[in-house]
Structure 1
Amino acid sequence: MPKAGIIYNDVKPIATSVAMELKDKLTAAGWDVYITASLGGILGYSQPHSPVCHTPIEGLTPPGFDSSMKFTVVLGGDGTVLAASRLVAPCGIPMLTVNTGHMGFLTETYLNKLPEAIEQVMTDEYQIEDRTMLTVKVLRGETVIWEALCLNEMVLHREPLTCMCHFEIAVGEHSPVDIAADGVIISTPTGSTAYSLSAGGPVISPGVNVLQLVPICPHSLASRALVFPDTESVNIYPVNIPRLVMVVDGNGGCYVLPEDRVYLERSQYQARFIRLQSPEFFQVLREKLGWGLPHIAKPTSVELP
């Protein structure tokens, strides 16, 4: 019996009801179906009085989800997709992402097209697009006190108010550099259209094997976005006292103390997206962010008064 999964945003009634209906439909068609809320992939925050909050990356996978699962349907918005990727990437399960949110930049289809999409997936009429993920770790000495998979970006900044931070950052074996800024972003190509875009970083096509470092509001004309090979690891040493806060994919993270080190590298796991048609990144940029839309035609001549 083939096996499928459903991951849904249980905060949204429409996603919940569709998940239950889809489970019944797949079960009736002879599939073994496992269902879970995306909450399990939402990263928790460690607290100042209890900074160690270490759940191993592989420890988030829900019961029943494993490498034998042919696909999982993800019902929600971009946040749900980010959470789902952490749940299933260690098992290599392809995700059919269905938008029940707002922008849905990471989603493949919409609810009104779900019946046709499911038929297409059940008959293996699709392609798989792999997206780079990051492994993010906070180390105290040689002890890992927090870790997570990251599809979009890692952000390190000060709280509760935005103010100048100092970071010593080493990319690969290169000499460390000092950056003074409100914060720093380490982004994957997928995350280049998220926070790093708003902070002035470039858009990077998903198939390019690079990462990028983007300072947030740097206090220097020399500190600008840096794109580097994803074969290079990154070590960040915070200089600020008493602490900084790190956020991964916008929904979880931990406090980083002056004696800690943030370590990032390209993960051995990838987010696997089901594509019902050939991937068209520029079309998504145009539809979701307005990139490359034609300008209003200018008049060929101007009449002077």
Structure 2
Amino acid sequence: MTLRFRHVALIGKYQASGARAQCGAQDNVMEGIGAFLEAQGCTVFVEQSQGADVEAGPYKSLTVEEIGEECDLGLVVGGDGTMLGIGRQLAPYGVPLIGINRGRLGFITDIALDTYQATLIPMLAGEYEEDHRSLMHAQVIRDGVSVFDALAMNDVVVNRGATSGMVELRVTVGRHFVANQRADGMIIASATGSTAYALSAGGPLLHPAVPGWVLVPIAPHTLSNRPILLPDEDEVSIELVGGRDASANFDMQSLASLAIGDRVVVRRSEYRVRFLHPKGWSYFDTLRKKLHWNEGGS
């Protein structure tokens, strides 16, 4: 086999629940995958925060920045949350990512743990489908100053407080005022995030090849406030006009408290995440499998 990728960062949690299920009593899943990669001729590294969990681990640990500079592939073992976190961090370096699913749904970590060896062998040799996903760049603007700055791959969500009533939000797209909306909140989701919170709030599925976002109100007061598909070249601004204890979260992994008058401004980031999938991969295959289509009676 002629290797396409020689320096591989193995990213995931050591000693997680079920970590010994596939590799015997003495080895955990991550070490088993690492040994497999080495047998293929790869030099294996682990993310530094994870390497610290294995005192006698066999692999050199690198910071995210070092992974970006020294590795030509990231192999992510876990669920979509793990992939979201590392995807945002490695996007500026252009390192492609492959996901082995140890979570539940696995929309973006799509290789099954029990078949990873047979699947990875041709991929390591360069037989794969490449899939690019744009990131969202979000800021919280207060009195004209950015007080919070984050990247998101799935979504940016403005939410009411847990014990408060609806919030009132002023929505602007580009230079155009859209509406003042009263709701429990608002979701701006990428195509990647259209299968996440936005879907449960009634939003549409968006194919990742479509350069757009979906704007989805959460439990709107006016039922005519419906989800809308927007071009991702436009800046979207959501201003908090009324409501208490509101917040904005980014991929459900970072949080900013909002005050009246704050604006959450979302733009398309200059960075994209590179996903690699097995040859013949199709987004529609993922939807059928993860959303259990075709399982009903005739």
Q: What's the TM-score bracket when you normalise by the shorter of the two chains?
A: 0.7 to 0.9
2:274 aligned counterpart, secondary structure = strand
- Give a deviation string over 1:83-125, Cα, whole Å, max 9, x none: 1211211111111100111221222211111222332232111
- Give a deviation string over 1:237-295, Cα, whole Å, max 9, x none: 1013544111111222111112422110111111211111233122211111123x275
**Of 9, 12, 16, the match for 1:12:** 16
What is the CA-CA distance between 1:133 and the residue it aligns to? 1.6
2:121 aligned counterpart, secondary structure = helix
- Give a deviation string over 1:170-219, Cα, whole Å, max 9, x none: 10121242111010000111111111111111111111111111000101
Hey, what does 2:259 align to over in structure 1?
Answer: 257
Aligned counterparts of 2:46 and 2:244: Cα–Cα separation in 1 = 42
Hey, what does 2:104 align to over in structure 1?
Answer: 102
In angstroms, what is the RMSD of aligned CA positions? Answer: 2.3
| Deviation larger for 159-168 or 10-19 | 10-19
2:288 aligned counterpart, secondary structure = helix
Distance 1:72 1:14, change over 3 A: farther
**Of 8, 24, 32, the match for 2:43:** 32
The alignment status of 1:2 with 2:3, answered yes or no, reads no
Aligned counterparts of 1:231 and 1:275: Cα–Cα separation in 2 = 27
Hey, what does 2:248 align to over in structure 1?
Answer: 246
What is the CA-CA distance between 1:142 and the residue it aligns to? 3.9
**Of 281, 292, 295, the match for 2:283:** 281
**Of 66, 77, 80, the match for 1:78:** 80
Aligned counterparts of 1:192 and 1:38: Cα–Cα separation in 2 = 30
Aligned counterparts of 1:69 and 1:253: Cα–Cα separation in 2 = 30
Distance 1:35 1:236, change over 3 A: same
Partner amino acid for 1:8?
Answer: G
Hey, what does 2:55 align to over in structure 1?
Answer: none
2:74 aligned counterpart, secondary structure = strand
Hey, what does 1:22 align to over in structure 2?
Answer: 33
For structure 1, the 5+ residue unaligned runs are: 40-60, 298-305
Distance 1:166 1:241, change over 3 A: closer
Aligned counterparts of 1:178 and 1:253: Cα–Cα separation in 2 = 23
**Of 214, 226, 229, the match for 1:224:** 226
**Of 197, 200, 207, the match for 1:198:** 200
2:135 aligned counterpart, secondary structure = strand
Partner amino acid for 1:122?
Answer: L
In percent, how many aligned pairs have the same letter?
32
1:191 aligned counterpart, secondary structure = helix
Aligned counterparts of 1:275 and 1:77: Cα–Cα separation in 2 = 15
Aligned counterparts of 1:34 and 1:141: Cα–Cα separation in 2 = 44
The alignment status of 1:296 with 2:291, answered yes or no, reads no
Aligned counterparts of 2:153 and 2:269: Cα–Cα separation in 1 = 10
Hey, what does 1:160 align to over in structure 2?
Answer: 162
1:258 aligned counterpart, secondary structure = coil
Aligned length: 275
Contact 1:14 1:100 in 2 (8 A): no
Distance 1:283 1:217, change over 3 A: same
Contact 2:171 2:238 in 1 (8 A): yes
Contact 1:6 1:23 in 2 (8 A): yes
Aligned counterparts of 2:243 and 2:165: Cα–Cα separation in 1 = 12
Partner amino acid for 2:206?
Answer: I
Partner amino acid for 1:88?
Answer: L
2:8 aligned counterpart, secondary structure = strand
For structure 2, the 5+ residue unaligned runs are: 21-27, 51-62
- Give a deviation string over 1:116-147, Cα, whole Å, max 9, x none: 23322321111210112211111223432222
What is the CA-CA distance between 1:11 and the residue it aligns to? 6.7
2:88 aligned counterpart, secondary structure = helix
| Deviation larger for 165-174 or 7-16 | 7-16
- Give a deviation string over 1:30-78, Cα, whole Å, max 9, x none: 5333212788xxxxxxxxxxxxxxxxxxxxx714212552211000011
